[in-house]
Amino acid sequence: MSTTPDPTQHEDARLTLSGLAAQGARRNRPRGPVLLAGVLLAGASLYAGVQWLSLSSEQGRVERERSRAARVLQASADLSALRAGAEEAGSESETEPISDILARLQRYGGEFGIEIPFPRDSTRDVRPGLRERRYTYTLSDASIGSILGWVAAVTDRVPGMRVYSFNLSVRQSRWQLIVEFIRLERTP
């Protein structure tokens, strides 16, 4: 009898041995460090996200504080200018209340041939003894020279009157101006 090895038995043994080796390799693969690295990556990502949100919040706060500081500096400069003007002023100071201010503004409009409506008028106390008055006008005229002449006349002839905001546009072939004047007045 011949003892020739069966090639299929040899192949089956080799595949079985290969499968056992692969199974052993999978069992011996380190899972703990991989899981730890994943958890650390997730934690670091969460921490970075929280810090980024905190940074953007702080940047907004810094911008608000810068804006506030700029307003304080502007108010300080305005106050210094008012004090300097009060020292140089004659009979009518920049902060002296003017009882006929609206009539004056309408009269100046008549000089330029434009009708001046009544303004939106707002008042707020800046500090004890000093009040801020705002006059907001919306004007419409075919001539830009008349509108700008009126604005110049108001700021030149009314002591302490300043332009706070100015929006000029063209609407249906007419110039439209929304202007807000501001004036500080002493209170009794």
- Per residue in 66-95, pLDDT (tens digit) is 888 888 888 888 887 777 666 554 445 788
78 and 105 housed in the same domain: no
0.75 exceeded by pTM: no
Does residue 57 form part of some domain? Answer: yes
127 and 177 housed in the same domain: yes
| pLDDT score recorded for residue 135 | 94
Does residue 4 form part of some domain? Answer: no
Does residue 96 form part of some domain? Answer: no
Does residue 162 form part of some domain? Answer: yes
Domain boundary among 24, 55, 85: 85
105 and 178 housed in the same domain: yes
The structure tokens listed for 67 are 């804006």
Residue with tokens 């509108």: 147
58 and 131 housed in the same domain: no
162 and 135 housed in the same domain: yes
74 and 115 housed in the same domain: no
- Top pLDDT among 42 and 7 is at 42
pLDDT, mean over the chain: 85
Does residue 165 form part of some domain? Answer: yes
Rounding to the nearest 10 degrees, give the CA dihedral for residues 78, 83, 86, 87: -140
Where does the chain show beta strands of DSSP type E?
120-127, 130-141, 162-171, 174-186
The arithmetic mean of pLDDT across residues 152-175, rounded, is 91
Tens digits of residue pLDDT in 93-121: 788 888 899 999 999 999 999 989 889 88
Q: What CATH number is given to the structural domain containing 152?
A: 3.30.70.60
pLDDT surpassing 90 at residue 163:
yes
- Residue 132 belongs to domain spanning: 101-186
The structure tokens listed for 156 are 């030149």
77 and 105 housed in the same domain: no
| pLDDT score recorded for residue 90 | 44
Domain boundary among 85, 118, 148: 85
The structure tokens listed for 170 are 């063209």
107 and 63 housed in the same domain: no
77 and 107 housed in the same domain: no
- In total, how many domains does the chain have? 2
Tens digits of residue pLDDT in 47-73: 999 998 888 888 888 888 888 888 888
